[in-house]
Amino acid sequence: MNPHAKLISTMSLIMGTSITMSSNHWILAWTGLEVNTLAIIPLISKSHHPRAIEAAIKYFLTQSTASALILFSSLTNAWSTGQWDITQLNNPTSCLLLTMAIAIKLGLVPFHFWFPEVLQGSSMTTALLLSTLMKLPPITLLFMSSQSLNPALLTTLAISSALVGGWMGLNQTQTRKILAFSSISHLGWMIAIIIYDPHLTILTFALYSLMTTTMFLSLTQIKVLKLSTMLISWTKTPMLNATMMLALLSLAGLPPLTGFMPKWLIIQELTKQGMTPTATTITLLSLLGLFFYLRLAYHSTIMLPPNSSNHMKLWRTNKASNTPTAILSTLSISLLPMTPLITTMF
Amino acid sequence: MAVAVMFLNNACLRGRCCRHKVLQPLLGTFCADSMSKCYSSYRRPGSQPEVTPSWRNIDFSFKKGINALKTQLSLLKKETKDHLTGPDGHSFSHYMLEQTKVMWVFRCQEDLNKWVISSDVEIGGKSEVYLKLGRNNQGAMLYGILNTEVPRDGETKYSGYCSMRAKPAVGSFARKKYYDWSNFNSLYLRVRGDGRPWMVNIYTDPYFSHQKDDLYNYFMFTRGGPYWEEIKIPFSKFFLSSRGRVQDDQHPIWLDKISTLGFTLGDKVDGPFQLEIDFIGLLNDRAHTEEFAYETYERNPRI
């Protein structure tokens, strides 16, 4: 990509995210969302492959619809209450519209159909941005308006996202789609707790971003786009394979890895709030995700010769060593003992 | 207004020939009669005239509806079981270790029903194409006569093609299903041709209609027989075309969402043709390391 275009896109992404996160007025927040949408379109369609163009169009249509709904929600709220402040969303219709709009933006069930397709059509780096950075502004808006939103609706969205994310991820063979469904499932956990403890949502999002970034960077380094390629990656980068397996298990929420922390805290908070059936349901549904993460981890690391592999072995990877991946892998595996410190930060 | 439209419509129903001259320019889209298309009254020479209105083709039988629902629910149940088993209903280790796969095999009439044949008759041409089971029910025979005579409709310039295309896979409740061929890198065909060059087409069924004419093609040159030949076509050789025109901006085919496969004959040679196909399969050829055969150089290098 032209370096100037890349610079403009990157700066626009940062600017759009900053605008939305720092705004108190709905119009400014909407502006930031639109800047973000427009900035990422050239990144998604960079390769000009028909599937990449398709992904870019799908992304644009869904995000524009959601932005229009956000604007409409803020307008109806301003019309009925005279308030443009994001934290003063009092009109029930506005709250409903905003919830739907944020669900579309984030890819929550039942508005999740675009997310795996868009991720599959993008490159690994763009998919990473779509899964982490592009979710930050909508989560911020949800965080700021969480006290006005309908708890029953949010709980329904959360449980259905955990269910669909786990169920649909079961038979995926493309790594980006697997991570897309993992994202949907994790978003379910984040939304489940936002009414009761919004700071836990932010903590979950931060840790999810950490673990997902580790996975994406690891997969980019060994150029794994589908599962069968993962079988031969251990020959060239055995250490990366081992850390990738642990990062996968961390994403699954297995103790004593980092990913267990948000799940534990969310279950604890839900139980304290008397939402034990919700906590039980969402925990059981996360077992689906655990199943396919374990299967991935097994097939990538534990399946060793003399079984035959389907692919030519990788000659070389991108770089000999990758410092950010190493740091992020360490963090995504070993942060659980620091839970008391981390919870005070959020 | 609606009553006036209905009255006018009924009055001219028998005189269909004058309706287009009088009513169409006056009322345009208000004449929503099922006998005429609002956007065009032209019918292609090869297409059949629409005798029955479309709403008459709907079967309002309650019992048939219940049976159809039962069929779809049983399909859904099977899909759920396959989903729990693994990708495509096979176990996960089967998927990870498979190196060959037979996609289509021709042994009975049901196998032939999964394919659709077509020719230039649909644009008014005179080619003929037929599909039947081969000798001893081993293989399918696609045969016919190619005729390059152009239909005299004033707009068609070329004619003379015959094709055979697989029907897209359909799940429960008529949902589209796609094939995941990402584990393989070559198409494997066991055919016996007549020396004519065929074109193999792969359709990936894009979401938006802008790309609905996109097709990935490659050639299949057959020998005259009498021996069967096994043709391997790597997926890296397939080039992108749209409405039959090879695109300047070429991209490799992505194998995770394949809809249909087809064979087309259009070599501009009048006369009979015959192609026997035993099976169509997929292969992971470890000796083939090419990723894409076309335009792999950087077109606008930064100096």
Res B27: pLDDT: 44
In this predicted structure, the answer to whether residue B19 has a pLDDT above a threshold of 50 is: no
In this predicted structure, the answer to whether residue B38 has a pLDDT above a threshold of 70 is: no
* Across A298-309, average pLDDT: 64
Contacts of B97 in chain A (CB under 8 A): 307-308, 310
Provide the domain limits for residue B86: 60-97
Do B92 and B158 lie in a common domain? Answer: no
With respect to residue B44, please indicate whether it lies within any of the assigned structural domains.
no
Quick check: B208 and A117 CB within 8 A? Answer: no
Query: pLDDT tens-digit profile of B194-248?
Result: 999 999 999 998 999 999 999 999 999 999 879 999 999 999 999 999 999 999 8
Quick check: A227 and B240 CB within 8 A? Answer: no
* Across A128-151, average pLDDT: 94
Quick check: A50 and B206 CB within 8 A? Answer: yes
Which residue in chain A has the smallest CA separation from B256? Answer: A174
Percent of chain B, pLDDT > 70?
A: 82
Do B165 and B85 lie in a common domain? Answer: no
Q: Which two tokens stand for residue A285?
A: 């549904």
In this predicted structure, the answer to whether residue B251 has a pLDDT above a threshold of 80 is: yes
In this predicted structure, the answer to whether residue A134 has a pLDDT above a threshold of 50 is: yes
CATH number of the domain where residue B229 is located: 2.60.120.430
* Across A154-179, average pLDDT: 93
Confidence of residue B21 (pLDDT cuts 50, 70, 90): very low
Instruction: Establish, for the pair of chains A and B, how many residue pairs have beta carbons separated by less than 8 Å.
Output: 65
DSSP annotation of A108 reads -
Res A270: pLDDT: 94
The C-alpha of A55 sits at a distance from chain B's nearest C-alpha, in angstroms, of 9
With respect to residue B33, please indicate whether it lies within any of the assigned structural domains.
no
Res A188: pLDDT: 95
The C-alpha of A27 sits at a distance from chain B's nearest C-alpha, in angstroms, of 31
Partner B contacted by A269 (CB < 8 A): no
Do B76 and B175 lie in a common domain? Answer: no
Burial grade of B296 (CB within 10 A; 0-12, 13-18, 19 or more): exposed
* Across A253-272, average pLDDT: 93
* Across B72-78, average pLDDT: 95
Do B123 and B149 lie in a common domain? Answer: yes
In this predicted structure, the answer to whether residue A71 has a pLDDT above a threshold of 80 is: yes
Q: Residue B163 — φ and ψ, nearest 5°?
A: -150, 160
In this predicted structure, the answer to whether residue A242 has a pLDDT above a threshold of 90 is: no
Do B161 and B251 lie in a common domain? Answer: yes
Contacts of A171 in chain B (CB under 8 A): 83, 86-87
Res B61: pLDDT: 86
Measure Cα distances from A140 to A93, A199, A288, A332 in Å. 20, 11, 28, 23
Which residue in chain A has the smallest CA separation from B241? Answer: A50
Res A321: pLDDT: 65
Partner B contacted by A171 (CB < 8 A): yes
Contacts of A50 in chain B (CB under 8 A): 204, 206, 211, 214, 240, 251
Do B201 and B146 lie in a common domain? Answer: yes
* Across B120-135, average pLDDT: 92
Q: What is d(CA A325, CA B129) in angstroms, rounded to the nearest whole number?
A: 59
Q: What is d(CA B164, CA B274) in angstroms, rounded to the nearest whole number?
A: 12
Partner B contacted by A305 (CB < 8 A): no
Percent of chain B, pLDDT > 90?
A: 60
Confidence of residue B35 (pLDDT cuts 50, 70, 90): very low
Q: What is d(CA A78, CA B7) in angstroms, rounded to the nearest whole number?
A: 50
Contact between A273 and A264 under an 8 Å Cβ cutoff? The reply is no
Res B34: pLDDT: 41
Q: How many domains does chain B have?
A: 2
Q: What is d(CA B141, CA B192) in angstroms, rounded to the nearest whole number?
A: 9
In this predicted structure, the answer to whether residue B5 has a pLDDT above a threshold of 60 is: no
Partner A contacted by B211 (CB < 8 A): yes
Query: What is the distance of C-alpha B60 from the center of its chain?
Result: 30
Task: Using the Cα atoms of residue A271, residue A275, residue A277 and residue A278 in order, give the sign of their dihedral.
Answer: negative
Contact between A16 and A32 under an 8 Å Cβ cutoff? The reply is yes
**More confident: B50 or A92:** A92
Do B186 and B242 lie in a common domain? Answer: yes
Contacts of A51 in chain B (CB under 8 A): 204, 206, 254, 257
With respect to residue B251, please indicate whether it lies within any of the assigned structural domains.
yes
Do B110 and B79 lie in a common domain? Answer: no
The C-alpha of B252 sits at a distance from chain A's nearest C-alpha, in angstroms, of 8
Query: pLDDT tens-digit profile of B181-198?
Result: 998 999 999 999 999 999
- Mean pLDDT computed over every residue of chain B: 84
Do B91 and B165 lie in a common domain? Answer: no
Do B92 and B107 lie in a common domain? Answer: no
Contacts of A49 in chain B (CB under 8 A): 251, 254
Res B40: pLDDT: 55
* Across A121-126, average pLDDT: 94
Q: Which residues contact B53 (CB under 8 A, 6 or more apart)?
A: B34, B35
Query: pLDDT tens-digit profile of A73-82?
Result: 999 999 999 9
pTM: 0.87
Do B117 and B71 lie in a common domain? Answer: no
Do B202 and B138 lie in a common domain? Answer: yes
Range list of H helices, chain B: 2-11, 16-27, 62-85, 92-97, 109-112
- Mean pLDDT computed over every residue of chain A: 90
Query: What is the distance of C-alpha B216 from the center of its chain?
Result: 12
Which residue in chain B has the smallest CA separation from A231? Answer: B96
Percent of chain A, pLDDT > 70?
A: 94
Quick check: A312 and B286 CB within 8 A? Answer: yes
Q: Which residues contact A101 (CB under 8 A, 6 or more apart)?
A: A66, A67, A69, A70, A73
Output the CA angle A174-A177-A180, nearest 5 degrees.
Answer: 155
* Across B160-175, average pLDDT: 94
Q: Which of B96, B204, B206 sits opposite A228 (nearest CB)?
A: B96
Contact between B242 and B212 under an 8 Å Cβ cutoff? The reply is no
With respect to residue B132, please indicate whether it lies within any of the assigned structural domains.
yes
Q: Which residues contact B222 (CB under 8 A, 6 or more apart)?
A: B191, B192, B193, B194, B195, B196, B197, B198, B229, B231, B275
Res A315: pLDDT: 58
Confidence of residue B3 (pLDDT cuts 50, 70, 90): very low
With respect to residue B34, please indicate whether it lies within any of the assigned structural domains.
no
